[in-house]
Chain A
Amino acid sequence: MLHIVNKSPYERNALESCLRLALPGAALLLIEDGVYAATRGNVAEPRLREAMQRMDIYALRPDLEARGMAGRVIQGVKLVDYDGFVDLVCERPNCQSWL
């Protein structure tokens, strides 16, 4: 399962619920306002670091760059571009976009 979160952790509980319902071995891709969760010092950093032990965490580079956040990414979060986004979707049997 590829989980996709596009909401800021300050605005919605999508990331929190996603991490609660993600099995070990799943992948998480942060896009749009979801990329704020991938930045150092944000409210979700502890949970993200904990999740990193059991799943792969990605963030969409163009969305980080657009927001001026590309230099603030938590170590261990893997950055992907749009091609990488497509690869992630294709290599997993299913995906879920958390609204």
Chain B
Amino acid sequence: MSEFENDAGGESAGRIKKFMFVNRKAPYGTIYALEGLEVVLIAAAFDQDVSLAFVDDGVYQLAKGQQTKALEIKNFSPAYRALEGYDVEKLYAERESLEARGLAAEDLIVPVEVLSSTELAELMAVQDVVISS
């Protein structure tokens, strides 16, 4: 029964699936990053095996020092630090995307595991569900 973390609705409802959320958009310019974060929290609330990957402009979501006061919109970057509290601890950033933008792991607001394209591709391939935004 170890496969079933809760028994609310039998096998189909109880099996924990591997969800990877692939973030490829910068914050603020479009709603994708914020909406993606909401979906991550929903998946985590259902006790799924959730991981986040940051690729392309998605790595900008994690940039330190975001200040949105003058835009009069919410700075949601601190929410990435709260993910740990929802047991979302697997955060990956693609090395190629960071390097192409002059960023390194220490420029990011949360600790991430930096992976090559190939390593990230291998992780994606073993997911049950991959949601890109």
Residues of chain B within 8 A (CB-CB) of A97 are 132
Contact assessment for A21 and B24 in the assembled complex, using a CB-CB cutoff below 8 Å = no
- Indicate if A98 sits at the interface (CB-CB under 8 A): yes
The interface on chain B, measured as residues whose beta carbon lies within 8 A of the other chain's beta carbons, has a size of 21
Give the chain B neighbours of A26 by CB distance below 8 A.
125
- Expressed in whole angstroms, the minimum distance between the Cβ of B121 and any Cβ of chain A is 5
CB distance from B99 to the nearest CB of A (A): 13
For B84, the chain A residues whose CB sits under 8 A away are none
Query: Would you give the 0/1 interface string for A1-41, flagging 1 where the beta carbon is closer than 8 Å to chain B?
Result: 10000000000011001001111001000000000000000
Give the B-binding residues of A (Cβ under 8 A). 1, 13-14, 17, 20-23, 26, 94-99
Task: Using CB atoms and an 8 Å cutoff, list the residues of chain B in contact with chain A.
Answer: 22, 24-25, 32, 55-56, 94, 96, 117-118, 120-122, 124-125, 127-130, 132-133
